[in-house]
Every structure is written in C-alpha cells, then in structure tokens.
A and B are shown apart, each in its own frame.
Chain A
Amino acid sequence: MSTEKKSEMMVSRRTVLKVGAAAAGTAAFLAACGTSGSSTSPSPKPSQSDTISDVVNVANWTLYIDLSEDELTRPTVTAFETEYSTKVNYVEAINDNDSFFGTIQAPLKAGEDAGWDIATLTDWMAARILRLGWAEKLKTSHMSNFTANLLDVYKGRSFDPNVEYLAPWAGIVAGIAANKTTAGFVKGFKDLFDPRLKGKVSLLTEMRDTIGLAMLANGDDPAKADRASFDRAIALIEPSVSDGTVRAFTGNDYKELIVKGDVAACVAWRGDTVQIGYEDANIVWVTPTDGCTFSSDNMLIPLGAAHKYTAEKWMDWYYKPEIAAQLTAYVQYVSPVKGTKEEIAKLDAALANDAFIFPDAALEAKLHVFAGLSEDDEIYMNDAFSALQGN
C-alpha cells in the first residue's frame, strides 16, 4: 500500500481510537450516575371516570373471536360497539405470551400506560403480571354479568383468589393436530418423533404446553413439575430437534404450516384445530393417549390503562350467556361462562354435547394443568427451552 494510503488508514485508525476513548469516558460517567433500571413503584393514577370512552384497545390472540360469514366483521364486537356507542380497536397482537410481555413490560415498569386496555394472557403470565402489581383492580359493581356467571372452578385460584383482577376468556386444551392422510398413525406425543414424519413436525413455543405434553409422555405429572421432570422432558424432545425431525417451534403459525403441508403433525390448540378442520377436512384433532395440557387465557386491564371503565364493560359483555355462546360456537374453546351450554344448544345442538367445550368428567381426567413456578425455576426452564429452540 502506498505511504499516502497508509497514512490515510492510520488517520482513520487514530480517529476511531479517539472516538472510542470518548465513548468509553462517557460510559463511565453514565455508569456513575446512570439509571440502574430497577423496578420503580408505579405512580398512583387518578381514578378513571365511570363513563364509556370513544375507543377501547383490546389485545388478543388469533383465532379467538367470532367472524362473520365473509370473515370481514366480528359480530360480537360489532354488537358491543353498537350497544355502548364506542369503537373497539381489536388487535390480534398476541402470538406468544413472552413476546407480548416484552412489549408491555417497559412502559408498565416505568409506571406508564402500556397502550392496551385489555390484554388476554395465559394463567402463568397473568400470575406474573399480578405478582408485579401491574394489573388494575376490577370494579365489579358494574360488572353484573361477570359476577353472576363466572364458573365456580375459576374462583379461588391461587394467583387471584378473590377474583379481583382477571376475567377468564377461554380454557385451552393443547394436544395434537395431524393431517390424517400423511400422519394418520399419530396417537400420542411420542408418535410425533416417528422417523416417517422426519422434518414434518412442529412444536409450540409455549413452554408449558410442549414440555407439559412431554412430561405426560414420560409419565410425569405437569402439576408437580420440577427441574428433574423438566430435564426428562427436554431429554425426550432434544434428540428429535437435533436430527431435524422437528422442523420448527411455532406460536399460532402452525396453522400455515399444516395447511400448506410443510408439517404433517404438530402440537396445537384444540379450538384452532377445529377451525382449521373447517377449511381442510384432512386436518384432525388427536387427543394424545397420555393426556392433554389445560390452561386458561384471562383478560386483564394493565395498570394505568386509559379506558378502564369501557374495558370492564367489555369483560362483562362476554359474560352474557348469549354472547359467550356466539363466541364459543365459533372459536370452539372451553367457555368460563355459566349458561353457555344452554345458549349454544339453540345455535347448534351438536356443540352443546362437545366434551371439549363443556368437559365432562371423563375428559377432565385427561386434562392437566402445569404447576406454578418460582422465578428461579421459571428462568431455568425458559433458558433451557430457548436453548432447545436454538436461541
């Protein structure tokens, strides 16, 4: 290199060093007096008034609301908007509990409005939110349907014993969805790792469902989950991930994969699977021989939400049996609302007898809830599960 170019390179190297030194100095200065990021207690918010607002922001999962025939409107939502003269900003923003939590934790930590009036989160995530004190207490005095119609089984849960923060949206059963032409032999969780299905299997990113099913296949009880049974579950799954049998870990996106045929069988949620079955009759639900996992998604109002009253009315709306029936008839999940069975019989008699929507004793024996975890255990398991996914 010519001396000219060399000196140019040297100049740039020197400049880089100068800039780097300046940056390091600033960093040191910041370290001395910078924010440490520790949790701050949220500043008390003035109580929101008891009037309906112009808009309410609802975050929910996909395939969790009823759709009209042309799939362009959501009848129960439209009915709510008409009844209360408000507008619902319904966004299917939740694909995965952890990633959604990632989007709201920063404002909530800082004591700010997270931007959502309703978030529908699974038990364990809802429990975490309550532990952190990031949910608004419900004013049940104007939620008559809710107080009257909540199924008893949801009262007295360890993380919300007095039903002050959470309004269950639906109960979810996790099991297996399979294409009966290519994976008709799949009857249990272990069958997913059959060599015939190499590269055509997907699991859920939802740790408690995937690991829960693996635990059941190992003969362990998810309700008593500990690090040992967790490790055994990982050991069951891991070989099939390394050798490429498992193609992907998905949130709701397993739907695309199985319809396209890129996946022949996957861990899936029952309501989704039934809805997919309407579009492609080859995709069927399989209740794993060792049992299914069961959890519920709960509506909660994040702390500092701008439209609390309207949000409470939204919760209450879905505790009207007729509305709950309309919703359940479409999404096919377990309804937490009393009287749904009778109402749904008016819409579709067959659904009223569907054990997966209104579990009978036989099915209840096959449904298993995952244990509540301590923060340390949760981090341990999340890390190991992330590592399993290559992250």
Chain B
Amino acid sequence: MIAFLRRRPGLLPLLLLAPAIAWLVAFYVYPAIQMLQASLWSGTLESGFTFSWANAATYSAALGRYSDQFLRSILYAAVSTVVCLALAFPLAYTIAYRAGRYRTLLLFIVIAPFFTSFLLRVLAWKTVLADDGFLLGPLKTIGVLPEEFRILATPVAVIFGISYNFFPFMVLPIYVSLEKIDRRLVEAAKDLYAGPVRAFQRITLPLALPGVFAGSLLVFIPAMGDFVNAELLGSVQTRLIGNVIQSRFLVNNDYPTAAALSFMLMAGILTAVFIYARVLGTDELETGIG
C-alpha cells in the first residue's frame, strides 16, 4: 500500500481529506439541499406538502414579514461585536503587554467561562440582573434607580448576554495578534519621535487587525443566529430571526418559511463576511480562521 502511494504521491492528500469531506458532504451539504427543497414546498402539515419552483414567492413573503427581526438581528449582532471589541481590546492588550508572569493565569480566566454550561451562565445573569435581584434591588432601595427600572426583557440585556457569551472569542485572537507583533517596530517608531499614542495608532493597531477581524467574525456570525439570549433575557420586542426560525420549525411546523429564512440568514452572513474581508483587505478568509 505504501509502495502504491509512493508511485502516486498526489493521491495521499486526497485520501487523507476524503473521510472528513465525505462526512461534511453527507451531513452538511446534503441536508442543506434538503432544506432548499423544503423551502419550495407549499401546503400544510395536515394536508401535505408539495414541491414547486413557483413557491419561490415564499422567500419574498418571509423577507417582508420578518424584516423587523432580520434587521434587529443584524443590529444586535453588530452592536454586540462592537461592544465585545471595545471591551476585549484593552484586556487583550493588558494580557499581551502588561501581564508579566500572570499572563497564563489571565488567559485562563478568559476562557474559564467556557467550562461551565452555556445555559447555566445565561441563567446566572438572569438571576444577577433580576428586577429586584442583588444587583438592582439594593440600588433601588437606596433610590439610585427608579422602581420600574429593569434590565431584563430589554435590548440591553440581550446584547449584554450575547457579548458576554462570545467575549473570549474576541479576546483570544486579538491577544494572539498583539503578541506576535515585533516590539522592535514600536521601539523604532519611538526612536523616530512618535509618542505612545501615535505609535499605537500607526504600528500596533494595524498589526492587530487580523486578530480583530478573526474575533469580529467569531462574534458576529453566531450572534446573528442567536435565539437563546433573546428567549431568556429578552421580550416580545427583542425577538430575533433565530427565534422566528425556531418557532416556525418547532412550533408552527411551517417548514417552507423556516427553511427560506434559514437560507436568507446564511446568505446574509456570508455576504457580510465577504464585504468585511474585502474592506479589511486580508486573506484571512482564504486560509480560514486560525
């Protein structure tokens, strides 16, 4: 067998790839095609579904009906990404440059939340942010906050939840980028009379961009599809496209609309990713993240 491979060296990589690719084709591509088919069904569960290309109208109908939720998802995902970025960058900077021997410990604390159940974390925030919980309660008692004030069941809570969940995804790539920067470049800039702020702006920040890019993708993409945070921390007014898809699939059994929405969501995400890649001018997309 080894001799056979030696004669045809080009075959080895394909053999190595084959199992993984075959799996993904069977359980990622094929289901996607099934869903595409389902999106072109018409009918109901009880009376049966029939396939027809003419049902492409489902897409425009779904887009029109759920445009609010779509836009809201984009907005919340974008805001969460920016919030994450703003919060994570200083932390990543500190860990990369100011942490000294605590570096590993800090990195560890950053990823520590992952080791608890995601749902339990969201529920814990629900307890902390409760209307009369131990955070808001005392503040209300001493009069700093009005009685009707609440964080839960508002957009703030949902964005907070999403940002919290994906915070480590933003910190780590930025940290990796920052850590790779050759310090001598910064020193050189200082030798050329650039102040610390200028050096940061002209040297550090641009070189950290690949990390920012990777981190932003890792936050934006899952945030677009979120429904758990909106369900547990939000209200009727904060319903996201993820909630709609979940509801259409599992509650209303409206498979055509649900499938159409899923495809449109995917298309939206991929478009956003391509545009972002273009703007930043990196080839990160080519080689994938990492």
> Which A residues fall within an 8 A CB radius of B?
1, 5, 8-9, 12, 23, 26-27, 30-31, 34, 36-39, 96, 98-99, 101-103, 105, 109, 128, 131-132, 198-199, 241-242, 244, 246-249, 260-262, 375, 379, 382-383, 386, 389-391
Contact = CB atoms under 8 A, between A and B. Distances in A.
Contacts of B53: 31
A389 B236 contact: yes
A244 B235 contact: yes
A23 B33 contact: yes
Nearest to A39: B48
A198 B33 contact: no
B46 A39 contact: yes
B109 interface: no
B164 to A, nearest CB: 20
B47 interface: yes
A261 B132 contact: yes
Interface in B269-290: 277-278, 281, 283, 285-286
A26 B237 contact: no
B236 A27 contact: no
A246 B69 CA distance: 19
A386 B252 contact: yes
Contacts of A105: 45, 253
A181 to B, nearest CB: 12
A1 B283 CA distance: 10
Nearest to B29: A23
A46 to B, nearest CB: 27
A262 B51 contact: no
Contacts of B51: 31, 34, 36-37
Contacts of A103: 250
9 contacts: A8-B286, A23-B32, A105-B45, A244-B237, A260-B133, A262-B130, A386-B251, A390-B69, A391-B244
A383 B69 CA distance: 16
User: Which of A37, A132, A375 has the most chain B CB atoms closer than 10 A to its own CB?
Assistant: A37
- The 9 closest A-B CB pairs, nearest first, are A38-B48, A390-B239, A37-B49, A391-B247, A102-B250, A390-B236, A98-B251, A39-B48, A99-B251
Contact of A99 (B38, B130, B237, B250): B250
Given A261-B131, A375-B47, A27 B33 contact: yes
B125 interface: no
Given A260-B130, A375-B47, 12 more contacts: A12-B286, A34-B37, A38-B48, A99-B251, A101-B253, A102-B249, A132-B46, A246-B236, A261-B131, A262-B150, A386-B247, A386-B251
Nearest to A389: B236
A260 B137 CA distance: 12
Given A23-B29, A199-B148, A199-B150, A37 B48 contact: yes
- How big is the B interface, by class? 35 or more
B44 interface: yes
Nearest to B127: A260
B76 interface: no
Contacts of B239: 389-391
Nearest to B40: A31
A362 to B, nearest CB: 36
A175 to B, nearest CB: 22
A128 B239 CA distance: 29
B50 interface: yes
Contacts of B255: 37
Contacts of A246: 236
A389 B34 CA distance: 29
User: Which of B46, B48, B255 has the most chain A CB atoms closer than 10 A to its own CB?
Assistant: B46
Contacts of B278: 1, 9
Contacts of A262: 130-131, 150, 152-153
Contacts of A39: 46-48
Contacts of A391: 239, 243-244, 247-248, 251-252
Nearest to A102: B250
A264 to B, nearest CB: 10
A132 B45 CA distance: 10
Contacts of A31: 37, 40, 51, 53
A98 B236 contact: no
Contacts of B286: 8-9, 12
A171 B279 CA distance: 62
B36 interface: yes
B253 A379 contact: no
A132 B285 CA distance: 49
A247 B29 contact: no
A8 B236 contact: no
Nearest to B256: A37
Interface string B140-162: 00000000101011000000000
Nearest to A390: B239
Contact of B153 (A30, A248, A261): A248
Nearest to B249: A102
B235 A102 contact: no
